[in-house]
Structures are given as structure tokens and as C-alpha cells.
A and B are shown apart, each in its own frame.
Chain A
Amino acid sequence: MFSLRRWWERHGVPIVVTGLVLGGVWLLRHTQGSAIAEIYYWVSRPFQGEPQGVAIARLTSARVRELEQQLAEVQAQNDKLRQLLGYLEKQPQAIAAPVIGRSADSWWQQVTVGRGEADGVRVGAAVSGIGGLVGRVVQVTPHTSRVLLVSDPASRVGVAVSRSRDMGYIEGQGSLEARLQFFEKVPDVRPGDAIATSPVSRLYPAGLTVGRIKTLNKEKGAAPEAIVELTAPLESLEWVLIYPPRVAKESQNANALP
């Protein structure tokens, strides 16, 4: 008994401290490092640049405003036609977020943005920037969220060729080029064609610009392949727009029904 107490007096503290450290780290792993992301948010807050309003104003140049007005005109017409058809969807409100951190590992393509759960960001939200689709929110903390970029090898996005409406999906390759795999055996596609998110995608809003076809490889395998040049400047992102996820909304509606 006495020797056990002696032993505990000598080794008790290191054992307790080691246990606490291991427990804390396990918790950190379980929450995907949200504590560190939060601390990082507060430390980097003074360097995060101008408030949301100013940034949005800067994002919106005169040319963009002109195009937006044209688009609003077309959208209004479109809404009218849809109303006639009997379904008018509410357009979701996007949240502007500053990019405050990059991937903590060279193998994965992620960014950390400075808006989180407290600002209405949810896991699964689509993220776009100047130039087009950027990625998808994979984790949120109260003030930050982690975005998996379209260039990440684990990312898959359903897309359609804007000209011919042929569909497929793109996989990231860790660079500014992604690989497009078509569902059709003989897709109507040629280099230079614009690629946008698919209208049947459940994860992304339809029609977000993704990129442009760079090269085509019709020989490869059962379904043809293409290399797509992503239009969003993923390596120099400063601000992004986060869209509420479509799936969550639909599933909420589904839950509401008996």
C-alpha cells in the first residue's frame, strides 16, 4: 500500500498531465480543430481588412454593375415566365466572407474563411468568388468555416456544358486545372466551351461558372474526359460568397412534412 502511494506520488502528476493532454487532443481531433480555428480568427481579426460592406462595394466594379442590371432584367423576365408556369423559387441570400487562412497541409486544397455559424453559414453551403465556383463548406465553428476547394482531389462537382447541356462531373487535381468526366458516351463539346454547375446538382446552386474546356481526350476509356481550366483564381482568393445549401432546405421541408 505504502509503496503504491510512493509510486503515485512520483508518477501521478505526469500520468494525469499526459492523460489530460491526450484527452484534449482527442477532443480537438473530434471537433476538427475548431478551438484552434476560433483562436486563429480572434488573433487574425485585426488583419482581416475592411468590413463586409466596403468589400462588397469594391467587389462590384462598374462593369459588374452593368452586367448585373442586364441580368436582373433577364431574371425578372425569367421569374415572370416561371410564375406563369407555377413555380417561383426564392433566391437565397449570399454571405460575403474574407479568406483568413489557407490549407494547413500541402496535400489538401482548403481555405478558412472568417464567417461561421454565428453568421448563418452551414456545412454543405456552396462557395463562389470572383470568377466562379470556389468550393463547399465542410466544417463550421462559431466564427470561421473551412472550405474544400474545387481543386481538391476529394472534391466532385456535377457540371454541365453551357452550350450543349451535356453533363458530367469534375474532380480536382490539386492545381488550377480539373478533370471533367462526361456521363454521355459522345458529348457535344469542344475546347473553349464554358462549364457551369449542373441544373440537377443537389449540392450547388445551378448555373455557377466553373471553368472552360482546355483540352479533350475522347479516346480515354468508356466515357470521354476533358481538362477544365478553373476560372476562379483559387490561389489568390481574398473574399468569397457563401450560398445557403439547397439540400438542407429541402431536407428541412421534407422533415416538416409528416
Chain B
Amino acid sequence: MKSMLRFRTAKSQRWVYRLLNGLAIAGSVLLCSLLLLPRLPGIELLGIVPNWLLIWVVAWSMKRPVWQGMLAGAVLGTIRDSLSAPHSHYPIHLLSLTLVGFLTARLQKQRYIQEDFISVALIVFAMNAIAESIGAVCNFWQGFREWEAVWRDYQRIVLTSSLLSSLWAPVLYYPLNRWWQYIHALEQSGGK
């Protein structure tokens, strides 16, 4: 009886953790989506803001299986598509962020890269460059602009946004990573 009771409390506790985790995930994604719209002084550079949703996808995919990284990329990419381009023919961000989720999860950081702020910033820089390149190619394919105009914009956008994203990446990565470590530890101890 006693052991059963303990089992039930452990189970309900785990549910509370999961609910809290879900709220934290939804809240942080919402915050990232909202941050795309304003141009706050100090965050903006040449009218470009950090790619918050990409930073989130990288933070999420760092220690998760590939399918979870891709799923998060697809979900957040769709959110960004819905916010940015009603007249776009391609789901540009769906493609780019799914690829980012896939690549980040496949990186095997434990084996090759030490986990610290510098490496997170570097990964975000590289992933943002890849994502913006996909954006540029899709933009060219849509045929709204000539190649030279896309190329000129691409150089400006890719450098500024990668730089800003990698500089702001720790601000998002650090609390999220700490939170997921904390939840993981709690679930492990609660489950036993």
C-alpha cells in the first residue's frame, strides 16, 4: 500500500514537472516570436534583429535526438513563416529551421566539441549562415528580384544576422539549458 502511494505521488510529481516544462517551452517560444517584431535599441543592427527562433532550435537540439530537433525546427519554422511572408511561395523557414534542427542534433557535441558559450555561439553563427543561404536561394527562385539584388542583400543580411544571433545566443541558451538540466535531474530523482 505504502509503496503504491509513493508510486502514485511520484507519478503525479512527474506530471507536474512535465506541465511546468511544457509551459516553459511554450512561453520561451512565444517570447522568441514576439521579439522578432520590435526593433529594440541595442538588439537591432541595420534594421536586423537576432534570429531568436533559430537560437531556440539550436539550444533545443543540442542534447536531443535528431527527430526531436527536426520536429522543433519544423514547428518554429512554421511559426516564423506565418509571421513573415504571406505572399511567399515556399515555406522558407520551415525548410531552413528543420535542417538546422537536424544538423545541430547530428553534431555529436559530446564527442567533438566542448559545451560552452563559445561553441554555442559558433554553432549558432554557422547555422544562421546556412539558414539565411537557404532563404536567399528561395528568394531568388520566387523570381521577385534579380540575382544581383538578392546577392547584395544576402551579404548584408547574413553577416549582420549571424553576428547578432551568435552574440545573443547565450542569453537564451544559458537559462533554457539550465532549466532542462534541472527538470531532467528532478525527473530522474522523482522517478526512482
Contacts and interface: CB of A to CB of B under 8 A. Distances in A.
Same complex: yes
B66 interface: no
A-B pairs with lowest CB-CB distance, top 3: A101-B37, A105-B84, A33-B82
A201 interface: no
Given A36-B33, A108-B84, 13 more contacts: A22-B75, A32-B83, A33-B82, A36-B34, A37-B83, A43-B34, A100-B38, A101-B37, A102-B39, A104-B80, A106-B48, A153-B145, A153-B149
A92 to B, nearest CB: 24
A154 interface: yes
Interface string A76-115: 0000000000000000000000001111111110101000
Given A103-B84, A174-B153, A40 B161 contact: no
A30 B39 CA distance: 26
Contacts of A102: 37-39, 47
A40 B149 contact: no
B145 A173 contact: yes
Given A29-B82, A36-B83, A112 B37 contact: yes
A173 B153 CA distance: 10
B82 A28 contact: yes
Interface of A: 17-18, 21-22, 25-26, 28-33, 36-37, 39-40, 43-44, 100-108, 110, 112, 138-139, 146, 148, 153-154, 173-174, 235
A39 B161 CA distance: 25
Interface of B: 22, 30, 33-34, 36-39, 47-48, 71, 75, 78-88, 92-93, 132, 135-136, 139, 144-145, 149, 153, 157, 160-161
10 contacts: A30-B82, A33-B82, A40-B37, A104-B33, A104-B36, A105-B80, A107-B136, A138-B87, A153-B149, A173-B149
